[in-house]
Structure 1
Amino acid sequence: MIELLVRFRVATLILGVCLLGVSLVIGQSLHFDRSIDNMFAPGDRLLTPYLKLKEIFGGNEVILAVYPDPQLFAEDGVGIDRLIAMRTEITALAGVRDVLSIDRPIGRDIVNSDNNRALKLRDAFVGLTHNAAGDIAALVCILIPESEAGVTRTEVIDQIRKIVATQPGGMITGEPVMVVDGFRYVEDDGARLGWATSLLLGLVILVAFRSIRWVIVAIAVVQLTLWLTQASLAVSGFQLSMVSSMLTAIVTVIGVATVTHVLIRFREFRAAGLEAEPALIETGKLLAAPIFWACATDAVGFSALMVTKVGPVHDFGVMMAVGALMVIVSVCLLVPGIILIGNFGGDAGRIWGEGKLDGGLDLTMHWVKRHPVLIAVFSIIMLGAAIVGSINLEVESDFTKNFREGAPIVVAYDYVEDNLGGAGVWDIMLPAPETIDWPYISKVNALEERLRQEAPELTQTLSLADAIMAGSPLPLEAMRFDFLRNRAIKIGMGAFQTEMPGILAALHAEDPDNPGQYWFRIMLLSHERRDSSDKKELIAKVEQIASEFQYPEIATEGSAEAAADAPAKQKPQVTGFFVLLTFLIDSLIADQWRAFLLAIGGIALMMLAALRDVRYALLALVPNVLPVLVVTGCIGLFGVKINMGAAMIAAVSLGLSVDSSLHYIIGFQRALAKGLNVSAALTEVQQSVGRALIFATIALILGFSVLCFSNFIPTVYFGVLVSLTMLGGLFGNLILLPLLLRWTTGEKSEIAAD
């Protein structure tokens, strides 16, 4: 096989270039899935009420636009006119259903301090449409579902942001803004970090090995792999997700690490006096099996992420598994042709200081021989600490922490939560009659009052009931007869229908799947930037209070038993972006350990197939599982909270790190097969394979270091934590693995070469 690839190197190179061209065209059709729904499994208990909320109320996406205005309630009307002009401009945008602001429904009269109705409305909506001091204005922008809007959600948010920015200090917040900005950063990172990784690693190869030819090899392999991967995903109907910016960087480091192994071995054969073509053939024979099994184990490690219920992470596992396998295709098609065609670039030279590195590798082997007990005890201590830390992992439920502190969305959230109230928006859905009447308004008011008393963490609770009560010219409670109250409510509902139909549809609507069944919406505001435990406690408290709300009129006629038997869809539901994002990472942590165990099992089977020895297959896992556990444990011990990036490192790191063990053990088997004893075999492998492992791991770490410049914090976490795991894996493979091989391999063992 190797001889055929070398013999037909021109044909394979041309084929590789043609595939690159085709992939470039097909890969352009790969787009981002920006839906928050995709982050949860279709049957997730949290997703079902959220989707129902979207369906009934025509979408659930709300943006809060805020700006400071000391003249907001100035009686000359200059501030309120400014607000009305902005509201009118935003309402006219395609993609915006309606905008709630303090001027509605009574217009400029809201600034009249002698108007009792205006004062009641201002008091009812404080914390939502303005602050208590009356010098910050807020507009609640209710969006049309993207599928119905005719414009993308990104375009709508950019237009709203542009309008609000015309006012000094104007900014926007809301979960839709966080999601759009998150995808914007991810999309920018995908291209920027990918090229940065390729150029950095190419520069490292150029400086270290002083060969332009090998720089071209590395970049060509990476680019073909990337575009083959993207074309395969596009043909399969996949879409990029919120963690897809890591795709380019990971494919790059796998490709460059593979090329580094080829470079080191090819250089050794050339130094031994072989011409380029025979040297490449011998390199191929020596590395074909390790490279194949290394990429296969990478694919297995990534594939383990497919057990997760979080859509972006599941798809990321598929993408990276495809990418790892495409490295094999790219290396086979491009490396022979680029290495053997022409005389440009020269052979790779030795790295400056490589002689000292050789001496250092000898010292590590000497140290392994002299201090086996110390190494074993230290490893056990680290394992114990890792287990303790892993038990204490905490999740990061504040989605704003996914952005850098200076990001516009973070600044906006800080401003709103410091000056206006909570910026986290969520909802209670209550079963309701078709016609809202006084008995129902009373029940809702009682529920809201209970929420204010028993859940003071809520900064605002607001519903149609509050608007009707505050907007009524006469206090409804003061009216002596229900028919008068119902008449006043009917007039208020009519005014809403005429003046604010979009707002009314977002607060009281019929279930399109169940004609005749109506729902009532209470909007809740609470602080987004709080600990996960506090958020979960608040959500549980609200769910408990809401569950006790009863409206028997919508149940089947009969008795209390009939009401108790009402289907779950007629019972109060607590949902919204705030709830979904609070529990998002919980699912990831549980899935991480399942994926990690699956990766261990799958990689063990791959190792068994590659090494054909159960003993070595199990040994290969030890120096790689331990660093993963230690890094994960340190996250818990040092109080670092788990985000989407940190929750994926276990399976991914194991798949990448175990490649080094594979190269090491195969080299060890071959050294034994040549007749060397265990000590001599380990010494030889430490010098040959060990050197390549160091260079490859440096390439991996440098490649992942580029992720630290991402604007999306989970990407930064992923890069840092995987780099630390790779570094731990390197020490494990150069110190712990030789020790385990010495203990488990007798001096007279004869192991067949692969």
Structure 2
Amino acid sequence: MTTQPDSSTTDLPAESPSVTIVDTGFWKRTASFLIQWRISLLVFAFVLTALAYPYSQRLQLDRSIESLFALDHPLLLSYQESKSLFGGDEFVMLAWKQDDLLTSESLIEIEAFGKTLGKLDGVNPESTQTLSAVLQPKNIGFIGNLFMRIPTVRESALNFAEGALVGQDRVTTAVVIRLKPEELSSVSRAETLANIRELAASHNPPAYVVGEPVQVHDMFEVVEKDGAILGLVSSLILLAVIFFFFRSLRWMILPLVMVQAALIWTKAFLVISGMRLSMVSSMLNSLVTIIGIATVMHITIYFRELRREQERILALRMTLSTLLPAICWACATTAIGFGALLSSDIVPIRSFGIMMVLGVLFTLLAAFTIIPGGVLLGNFSIDPLKYGWEKWVTGGLLKLLRLVFRIPKTIASLALLLMIFGLIGLSFLRIETDFSKNFRENSPIVQALNFVEANLGGAGNYEVNFPFADVTDPAAIDKLRELSEELKAIEIEGHSALTKVIAYTDGIDFIPSVAGRTLDAKRETLQKMQPEFEPSLFNPEEKRMRILLRALERLPAELKLQMIEEVTQTAQKYFPDAKCTGLYVLLANIILSLLSDQVVSFTLAACGIFIGMTIAFRSWKVGLISLVPNLFPIVILVGTLGWIGSLVNIGTAMIASVSIGLTVDSSIHYLSSYFREKKSGRTHAEALKLTQSQVGLSLVFSNVALICGFSVLTLSEFVPLIYFGVLVSIAMLGGLIGNLILLPLLLTGLYGQKEVLTD
């Protein structure tokens, strides 16, 4: 059945737009099938959800930093090699200020605290470092007493420990512990860190806890916790907004039921297939919600218009037969957009692409199985209601359309200038490698970092390692000493790049002459004082040496990367095969990896969507113009970030690829409506007016609901989630503007140049 327009009507009233029904062939039969078998489909969805729910609850977050890199990534391979050679560099520092720090009583207390920490499950007790072990060394007889009694020896020992175990103020001190690899621990890393923090809080005075393992743990902890809490709050806000728009319990609950079912099915499938969530894929819930809410919003408004003249079942059959093609193509192009992430070299990004493709497909399955029965089952709250003020929204959309046709050249020129502005801004984008910037300033980890870096020096630990033949060779030791001194001298912008350099020669040179003058004698004394010192720096089987480095964690991005590069180059002058590695280096390069990957995947997504749109509308020109309103907001948004100097973090690195996969849905519904109206016999002007008033209204409603829902992400403790919520909201708003302004402008340039939209 096709509702034919009056060809003489070119100015349809804004307050009561008509709709065109396309009940043809395959889609008519599909709609009839879904309605006829609606109860069976609803039961199928319920049973599938019940079976999948227990599995969905087992989906775990992969908390390893390795999960953010490709398995063959050079940086990851170097890090894993170092862990196998030296046991890794997962150090945790507990720092505090203590009066009378250098008294025997204080040193005894520090030693006792270090032993207590060493007894914790997951801590390597042999590697615990304390100031008392330096100033009151055991196992070397009377010589150990000289460290506190002879001022020159004591000062030498303090200088050796400065920047790691004692501050320049000689009041700040720290205990440094080394974590066992998690696979060798009897408890989880989370439990180990919780026990460490409990001891730190009970210490008098309370101690601050810092270290890369702590940052990584806190990152995943916040992502998981905020994802659950904020997801619930976001859903409640969405429920409230949808109820406000339609004043119907049925139409409020229906989209949330559909989204939750799709999420449960997706998560269960991931568990069964052996996949795990990563920090990147923590956005799964949010993105599936966007897709599901947008889908139901189109159905709601279209069904509501038909219910003015049609009985309930017929109205739904007409709605489904008309909108299912657009819904299916919208899901297909969204899946193509996210499928482009499979090109990534980073395993979690590829996994996220697979997860989102599954999420989109399960959302479509949920729409097919839940919506027919959900709409027609029972007699409560049957119809979504309409406000009187909606005519003003529709009228405003039509006025916007008239403005587009009144000043097309001005709007086109302005859009072009904004695109150029955005493209230039892309060149100014800078990368944030200060991992602490992922947390709010008042978070415990940031406060701890501020304390340590203000009083002790850098809280960032990494290393440079290289082949080293023999620690008994004086010539080799001299070469190592020269490298150590040159590393200490590296400066960035007039300041020392490294706050602490710990080389094997520092331990040797630290031993006073009274304990021995030869290299062998000093090595023997050092092994008695610190049995773990030599094994932690030199692997005799693999003939590999490392120098431990400490640097400021809260360092600007470009300075941190410059420092790592200079350290590498300096080490390679002495040892050509030298490598810089460690959690500090991995964390500094995460965004670089994500950003470079996103450029490729975004390009593939745009190409894939162009092909999909070309096939859907059987026109390469339509495929091309459909990209414009979706690329427009992304280029301007990301370019603006470059202009204002905002640093790219984990939350912004993926925004381009994610946004184009979401905003293209609106373009498909707009284009489908336009061509449907044209096919029914309406003129270009009439088709645009009907599309702008009807589809435009659903776009406004869905975007307002989603922006309100995602605004709750600004409450997160994890800064990238805040950025993600804000930027996705802005991208959706930009996509809305692009589809309501640029798309009709482009369609007119393609199909309606000779027509005039009358007032």
Q: Structures share a fold, TM > 0.5?
A: yes
1:11-65 deviation per Cα after TM superposition (whole angstroms, max 9, x unaligned): 1111111111111111122111111122122222222221111110122211111
Aligned 1:51-200 pairs, distance under 5 A: 51-74=80-103, 77-97=104-124, 98-104=127-133, 107=136, 112=148, 114=150, 116-167=152-203, 168-200=205-237
Distance 1:160 1:577 in 2: 20
Aligned match of 1:458 in 455, 480, 498? 498
Distance 2:445 2:565 in 1: 27
Moved over 6 A (4+): none
3-state SS of 1:63 partner: strand
Distance 2:641 2:702 in 1: 26
> Equivalent residue for 1:487?
520
1:687-742 deviation per Cα after TM superposition (whole angstroms, max 9, x unaligned): 11111111122223223222222221111111111111111111111111101101
Aligned 1:37-52 pairs, distance under 5 A: 37-52=66-81
> Equivalent residue for 1:376?
412
1:244-298 deviation per Cα after TM superposition (whole angstroms, max 9, x unaligned): 3321122112211111111111111111x21211111111111101111111222
1:358-409 deviation per Cα after TM superposition (whole angstroms, max 9, x unaligned): 1101101110110100110001100110111001110000000011111111
Q: State, as a whole percentage, how many aligned pairs show the same letter.
A: 37
Compute the displacement of 1:620 (Å).
0.8
Distance 1:32 1:112 in 2: 49
Distance 2:513 2:195 in 1: 37
Distance 2:79 2:642 in 1: 31
3-state SS of 1:521 partner: strand
> Equivalent residue for 1:215?
252
Compute the displacement of 1:300 (Å).
1.6
Aligned match of 1:268 in 305, 311, 334? 305
> Equivalent residue for 2:4?
none
Compute the displacement of 1:421 (Å).
0.5
Compute the displacement of 1:115 (Å).
5.4
Compute the displacement of 1:426 (Å).
0.8
Distance 1:21 1:436 in 2: 67
> Equivalent residue for 2:678?
672
3-state SS of 1:71 partner: coil
Please say which of residues 105-114 and 202-211 is displaced more in the overlay. Answer: 105-114
3-state SS of 2:501 partner: strand
The question of whether the paired residues in 2 share the 8 Å contact of 1:110 and 1:122 is answered with no
1:246 aligns with 2:305: no
Aligned match of 2:479 in 431, 435, 443? 443
Distance 1:162 1:467 in 2: 32
Q: Number of residues paired by the alignment?
A: 712
Distance 2:461 2:422 in 1: 37
Distance 1:105 1:530 in 2: 29
**CA 101–436 in structure 1, closer or farther in 2 if over 3 Å, else same:** farther
Aligned 1:478-627 pairs, distance under 5 A: 479=517, 485-496=518-529, 500-501=531-532, 503-510=533-540, 516-550=541-575, 571-627=577-633
Compute the displacement of 1:486 (Å).
2.7
**CA 114–351 in structure 1, closer or farther in 2 if over 3 Å, else same:** farther
Distance 1:548 1:364 in 2: 65
**CA 218–7 in structure 1, closer or farther in 2 if over 3 Å, else same:** same
**CA 542–475 in structure 1, closer or farther in 2 if over 3 Å, else same:** farther
> Equivalent residue for 1:719?
725
Compute the displacement of 1:344 (Å).
1.6
Distance 1:435 1:538 in 2: 28
Distance 1:223 1:45 in 2: 39
1:126-152 deviation per Cα after TM superposition (whole angstroms, max 9, x unaligned): 000110111111111111111111221
The question of whether the paired residues in 1 share the 8 Å contact of 2:685 and 2:752 is answered with no
The question of whether the paired residues in 1 share the 8 Å contact of 2:340 and 2:602 is answered with yes
Distance 1:473 1:315 in 2: 59
Compute the displacement of 1:743 (Å).
0.9
1:288 aligns with 2:294: no
Compute the displacement of 1:475 (Å).
7.6
Distance 1:744 1:658 in 2: 19
The question of whether the paired residues in 2 share the 8 Å contact of 1:120 and 1:471 is answered with no
Matched letter for residue 501 of structure 2 = T
Distance 2:395 2:38 in 1: 38
The question of whether the paired residues in 2 share the 8 Å contact of 1:36 and 1:179 is answered with yes
> Equivalent residue for 1:20?
49
1:451-510 deviation per Cα after TM superposition (whole angstroms, max 9, x unaligned): 12234211110133212321345386xx4xxxxx133134124415xx634x44322224
> Equivalent residue for 1:559?
none
Aligned match of 2:271 in 234, 253, 260? 234
1:68-94 deviation per Cα after TM superposition (whole angstroms, max 9, x unaligned): 1123212xx232122112100111112
The question of whether the paired residues in 1 share the 8 Å contact of 2:507 and 2:526 is answered with no
Distance 2:342 2:656 in 1: 13
**CA 689–454 in structure 1, closer or farther in 2 if over 3 Å, else same:** closer
TM-score of the aligned structures, taking structure 1 as reference length: 0.91
The question of whether the paired residues in 1 share the 8 Å contact of 2:538 and 2:546 is answered with yes
3-state SS of 2:294 partner: helix
Matched letter for residue 522 of structure 2 = I
Aligned match of 2:701 in 695, 699, 703? 695
RMSD (Å) for aligned C-alpha atoms: 1.9
3-state SS of 1:528 partner: coil
Distance 2:378 2:133 in 1: 76
> Equivalent residue for 2:26?
none
The question of whether the paired residues in 2 share the 8 Å contact of 1:436 and 1:489 is answered with no
Structure 2 unaligned regions, length at least 5: 1-29, 138-144
